[in-house]
Each structure stands twice: as structure tokens, then as C-alpha cells.
Amino acid sequence: MKILVCISHVPDTTSKINFANNDTEFDKNGVQFVINPNDEFGLTRAMWFKEKQGASITVVNVGTADTEPTLRKALAIGADEAIRINATPTDGFFVAKQLAKVVADGQYDLVIAGRESIDYNGGMVPGMLATLTGANFVNMCIGLEVEGTTAKATREIDGGKEEIETTLPLVIGAQKGLVEEKDLRIPNMRGIMMARKKQLAVLEPEAVEAQTQITSFEKPAAKGDVKLVSPDNLDELISLLHNEAKVI
């Protein structure tokens, strides 16, 4: 089984976010980047298929050269090879079109993408990728087994779970639950050394016109001051909740 895992290069959630050029561009200065968490869950599940069923794993990213450390980490975790499409990911459609070309050229059986990235939270790429490649699609996937060309998936729905049986080729939108956080892998020294020798191919992008553009960014409004109430003064607390917060 050939598996393609789509990797997004995203800011660590602890990073301080700022914008530049009159709030029209994200300021990368001082920001630590990591593998998108939903993609990391997917990569970990792909590693299970590699170890149990002998699957091969390719990781792919749409990004400029500064995203290569993230791809190298995925190689250190255990992916066999990496592909970087040398372009700035302008919007979800642009990214999906670039990935679709890679899928078509590589004839992958299973494509694992995070259901959304934690930077823009668009949640569009996996579904568009499935449509562009003609593959079956399971979003919000929290369980996956593959036997031959048959896949059994579990996806999260409102109020519960849904069991699905489908066939390869398949695209899934992965999230926590596909594996648990305790199952995520930290690259060891041997993996890091081996990653240096693994292939990282750089491809030029397909000519695709972006369908959207960012006009400006805006930070959330600052939180108001916190009022502290003595635990001995319940009357004041009730009055504040009723008259100011208006929650009771």
C-alpha cells in the first residue's frame, strides 16, 4: 500500500502572533513552526500501516524552503521520502490542486490529510483533494483499518460516531482519535540521522490561480479586566453576575 501524508507547516500554539505590512501579512519573526497536529495524528497512523502491513509512506508539503525542517522531522519519525512543492500556499484550492498532481503522478492508495490546519482552520483541502482525484473521502476520521482494497473507517458526527466501509483509493481528513496523543512519536537520534539520507524532492508548482486572497488580519479584542470577589461575599458575586455579566 502506498500512503501519501499531507503535512502542513504551522505556528506552535504557544507562539506570539503578530502581523506586518498594515496587518496584511503574517509576521514569521520569532515564531516556532511545527507539524500540524491533525497531520501528525495521520502520520502516526500511517506508521502503524508501515510496521504492520509493510506500507510505504511519502510526506508532502506545499511551501517554500523554510518548511523543510518540518518535512525532515516527518522523515525522522519514519516516513520513507518527502516531496516539497516549491510554492507559497495562497489558499486551500491552490494547495489541493498541487497535491492532486502529486497524487496522480504517484498513484497512491491512501492519502491522509489533517481535517484542518491549526493556523487558518479552513478545513477545505482534504475534500477538494478527494474530488480532484476521484477518490473516496472520509472526513473527521477517528479510526481506520485497511485490508486489501477495503477500508473500514470511523468518523465523528454530531452526538456520536459513524462506521463506514469503502474502497481504495481513499482520502481521509484525520484528527485526534485516529491515534491518541500518547501514541505520537518523538524522533530519536537514529531516526534523525537516517532522515538526512532520505530523499526530499522539490517540485515546481502547477500554474493555478488562487480563488481567494487575504485582505487583512485582525487580532481578537483584548479581554476585559478581571474582578475578584471575596469568597465570603456571595451577595456581591450574585449581584455582579446578575447586573453586569447578566448570566443569571
Among 16-20, 58-62, 223-227, the range with the most confident prediction by mean pLDDT is: 58-62
Note the pLDDT of residue 210. Answer: 85
Neighbour-count burial for 127-153, b at 16+ CB within 10 Å, e otherwise: bbbbebbebbbbbbbbbbebeeeebeb
All 3 cell numbers of residue 71?
A: 518535512
Confidence of residue 194 (pLDDT cuts 50, 70, 90): very high
User: In the predicted model, what is the mean pLDDT of residues 158-177?
Assistant: 96
Instruction: Say whether pLDDT at 213 is over 90.
Output: no
In the chain, % of residues over pLDDT 90 = 82
The mean pLDDT of the chain is 95
Q: What is the C-alpha to C-alpha distance for residues 53 and 55, in angstroms, rounded to an integer? A: 6
Phi, psi (deg, nearest 5) at residue 174: -85, 155
Give the separation between CA 24 and CA 123, rounded to whole angstroms.
Answer: 22
Span 224-246, mean pLDDT?
A: 87
User: Higher pLDDT residue, 136 or 242?
Assistant: 136
pLDDT at 35: 97
Reply yes or no on whether the pLDDT at 222 is more than 90.
Answer: no
**Which domains, from first to last, does the chain contain?**
2-220 (3.40.50.620)
CA dist 215 → 35, 65, 143, 155 (Å): 26, 25, 38, 35
3-state secondary structure of 59: strand
Model pLDDT, residue 220: 87
Average pLDDT value for residue range 220-242: 87
What local confidence, expressed as pLDDT, does residue 247 receive? 86
What pLDDT sits at residue 227? 84
Reported pTM: 0.88
The SS3 assignment for 228 reads coil
Mean pLDDT value of segment 26-34: 93
- pLDDT digit string, tens, across residues 66-76: 999 999 999 99
pLDDT surpassing 90 at residue 246? no
